[in-house]
Amino acid sequence: MDKKFRFSIWYFILAFWLLIFLQEIYFASQHLDEVSYSQFKVWLLDDKVAEVTITDTIINGKLKPDVQEEKGNGFQTIRVDDPDLVKILEEKNVEFSGVIVSTLWKDVASWVIPILIFAAIWIFMFRRVSQGAGGSFMRIGQSKAKIYMEKDIPVSMKDVAGVDEAKEELLEVIEFLKTPEKFTRIGGRIPKGVLLVGPPGTGKTLLARAIAGEAAVPFFSISGSEFVEMFVGVGAARVRDLFENAKGMAPCIIFIDELDALGKARGTGPMVHEEREQTLNQLLVEMDGFDPRVGVIILAATNRPEILDQALLRAGRFDRQVLVDRPDRPGRKAILQIHAKAVKLEEDVSLEKIAAMTPGMVGADLANVVNEAALLAVRGNRETVAQVDLEEAVERVVAGLEKKSRVLSVEERKRVAHHEVGHALVAMTIPGSDPVQKISIIPRGIAALGYTMQLPTEDRYLLTQSELESKIAVLLGGRVAEELIFGEASTGAADDLQKATNIAKRMIKDYGMSTTLGTVALDQSGPSMFLSPNDSSPRSTYSEETAREIDQEVRQLIASQEKRVQELLTQIKPVLTQGAEKLLVDEVMSGENLQELLRLHQAGEPMMKPAT
């Protein structure tokens, strides 16, 4: 709301009341000697009255100049209902006029006040609306109100821990911002956009600020959701403004937080969001339109890269993605150390132990742990934070996290470790499966308690029968390992089983990879769903008997792979236990490490290396 505008409304209201007030005063000033109506009538009939002003309640009058009354010439009387008055006044040639005094302001008020009320409501709503849009209604498009520009950011890379890989990748960006000439001279391609990807609270925003702090450049930050306004075109104008401002301040960093709010794939979802699309398009245009050599680097953060519009990830836009993952144990310790600097710790506090207690927690959770511990110490009237405070704080934070991610019991962790190593070992020993990149038991959300990451060596469009069988075997590896070590399976393998069963079904029904059923495709995909919406699912073109055969065949296929895996893992059980033990300690393990254990075992050498 414009301040001046609001002021003028108050002036208007003030002027109105002043007017009424003055009018009252004017008539009050004529409050002359009050005489009775009969006295007035006598004067009137005696031809003594010169003029009168009649209102609906009173009559003001003046006597003729030559009439000498002791009280002076002016008089006032209360008007009574006298139908003959006007007639007499006319007869006596008295000048008279009527004034609507008291109803004048009533009448005016009766139409002014509703207008004022409406105006007030209107202004109120107007302000609400414009506040919703950032409180700068009159400045649509001028993003100054929403873009935060900071100089001299007090955050440095030292304040970020546990994300070493990301830090390393970002060093180049800092280098470039510090000395752009060095890069431009060689003509190297400078990253235009860097996308920080990772779960919430892992320090993406912090990293972006640290980059700006390290490079000592201005930092423009805006949240993706702030771009998306209720007025079509505002977001796009903001983007234009943002880039305009940034170019003037180069070298600098533009940081778009929560890019997913803005960069959702266009034209998907139930509603096409016109405004968001326009904003996104403008962002794409701006990103293409400027030369990275001017020294503007665009950072963005998201925790849902999968929903981003593909156009954003294309070369020349956010073509570099940096994974900011959940920290491992040493990483958590380092983060705890950073945050513990702000509080006084007792001498015997072991952050190592706290780090070991908190698998799955992210930087924000750990900062929270330290803060809770400090609060507990204060509540206990103690000067320093003790180990028990930290441990209780962990429990509190865990309780708060319960729904988001789980912190596992010791037993559960052991099971998960064996399960994952089981997957990995099968993948390593079986021909035709992708090499194992990484094994982790850092929980990610509710669904995944651990994971084994396999990297395909090449892009595959075709898979052979034996490769599909290998895939099933690897999927069964987790469950079989659990059975082998703990004597029974757990619910943790449900997802694996589902995937394995799906592969087996498709092998038999779609790929004709069953000897008993023969080379037949048993599902026919239905016609296009636009032609016949009721017929969109694959049509089963086989009898019930065949269905039974398929089920049997699927079961058999999986059973044979299970047997294969059982034999395989029994043979290398020592590697399984050793690997799981190591994984329990380190939480993350590279494929090479496990491969080395396997090699040592197969060569008949002791696997345990002297502790370092």
Binding residue (CB under 6 A) for ligand ADP from 205, 221, 358, 452? 205
List, as one string, the DSSP characters of 353-409.
HHHHH-TT--HHHHHHHHHHHHHHHHHTT-SSB-HHHHHHHHHHHHHHHTTT-----
User: Mask 252-271, x = binds ligand ADP (CB under 6 A)?
Assistant: --------------------
Q: Please give the size of the binding site for Zn ion, defined by CB under 5 A.
A: 2
Least distance from ligand ADP to the Cβ atom of residue 200, Å: 4
Least distance from ligand ADP to the Cβ atom of residue 368, Å: 8
**Catalytic annotation, pick one of 277, 372, 420, 587:** 420
The runs of H, that is alpha helices, within 487-521 are 494-509
Residues 6+ apart with CB under 8 A from 477: 422, 423, 424, 425, 426, 427, 565, 569
User: Mask 486-515, x = binds Zn ion (CB under 5 A)?
Assistant: ----------x-------------------
Residue 65 class from Cβ within 10 Å (0-12 exposed, 13-18 middle, 19+ buried)? exposed
β-bridge pairing 451-454 and 436-440? antiparallel
Identify which of residues 155 and 417 has a Cβ nearer to ligand ADP in the complex: 155
Sign of the CA dihedral running 574, 576, 579, 584: negative
Least distance from ligand ADP to the Cβ atom of residue 399, Å: 19
**210 near ligand ADP, judged by CB under 6 A:** no
Q: Please give the size of the binding site for Mg ion, defined by CB under 5 A.
A: 1
Least distance from ligand ADP to the Cβ atom of residue 464, Å: 42
**301 near ligand ADP, judged by CB under 6 A:** yes
Least distance from ligand ADP to the Cβ atom of residue 327, Å: 6
Least distance from Mg ion to the Cβ atom of residue 153, Å: 15
In the bound state, the residue with its beta carbon closest to ligand ADP is 363
User: Mask 359-398, x = binds ligand ADP (CB under 6 A)?
Assistant: ----xx--x-------------------------------
Least distance from Mg ion to the Cβ atom of residue 364, Å: 9
Least distance from Zn ion to the Cβ atom of residue 346, Å: 41
Contact at 8 Å (CB) between 146 and 226?
yes
Least distance from ligand ADP to the Cβ atom of residue 414, Å: 28
**205 near Mg ion, judged by CB under 5 A:** yes
Backbone torsion region of residue 337, taken as left when φ is above 0, otherwise alpha when ψ lies between -120 and 50, otherwise beta: alpha
**358 near ligand ADP, judged by CB under 6 A:** no
CA torsion angle for 252, 254, 255, 261 (degrees, to 10)?
A: 180
Identify which of residues 205 and 454 has a Cβ nearer to ligand ADP in the complex: 205
As given in the structure block, the two tokens for residue 217 are 């450049």
In the chain, DSSP finds a helix count (H) and a strand count (E) of: 21, 16
Backbone torsion region of residue 321, taken as left when φ is above 0, otherwise alpha when ψ lies between -120 and 50, otherwise beta: beta
| Residue 480 binds: one of ligand ADP, Zn ion, Mg ion, none (C-beta under 5 to 8 A by kind) | none
Rounded to whole angstroms, how far apart are CA atoms 561 and 584? 28
Identify which of residues 23 and 156 has a Cβ nearer to ligand ADP in the complex: 156
> How far from 155 is each of 205, 308, 364, 480, CA to CA, in Å?
11, 29, 16, 48
Identify which of residues 339 and 582 has a Cβ nearer to ligand ADP in the complex: 339
**223 near Mg ion, judged by CB under 5 A:** no
Identify which of residues 52 and 300 has a Cβ nearer to Mg ion in the complex: 300
Rounded to whole angstroms, how far apart are CA atoms 310 and 318? 10
Phi and psi angles of residue 584, each rounded to the nearest 5 degrees, phi first: -60, -35
Residues 6+ apart with CB under 8 A from 200: 303, 362, 364
**478 near ligand ADP, judged by CB under 6 A:** no
Identify which of residues 58 and 208 has a Cβ nearer to ligand ADP in the complex: 208
Count CB-CB contacts under 10 A for residue 337: 15
- Whether 412 sits among the annotated catalytic residues: the reply is no
How many whole angstroms from its chain centre is CA 576? 41
Best CA proximity match to 256, nearest among 308, 193, 172: 193
Phi and psi angles of residue 198, each rounded to the nearest 5 degrees, phi first: 170, 165
Binding residue (CB under 6 A) for ligand ADP from 61, 162, 295, 477? 162
How many whole angstroms from its chain centre is CA 533? 37
Identify which of residues 296 and 362 has a Cβ nearer to ligand ADP in the complex: 362
User: Mask 461-490, x = binds Zn ion (CB under 5 A)?
Assistant: -----------------x------------
Binding residue (CB under 6 A) for ligand ADP from 49, 58, 101, 163? 163
Identify which of residues 160 and 594 has a Cβ nearer to ligand ADP in the complex: 160
List, as one string, the DSSP characters of 140-185.
TT-GGGT-EEESS----GGG--S-HHHHHHHHHHHHHHH-HHHHHH
Q: Which residues bind Mg ion (CB under 5 A)?
A: 205
Q: Which residues bind ligand ADP (CB under 6 A)?
A: 160-163, 200-206, 301, 335, 338, 363-364, 367
* Residues classed as catalytic: 420
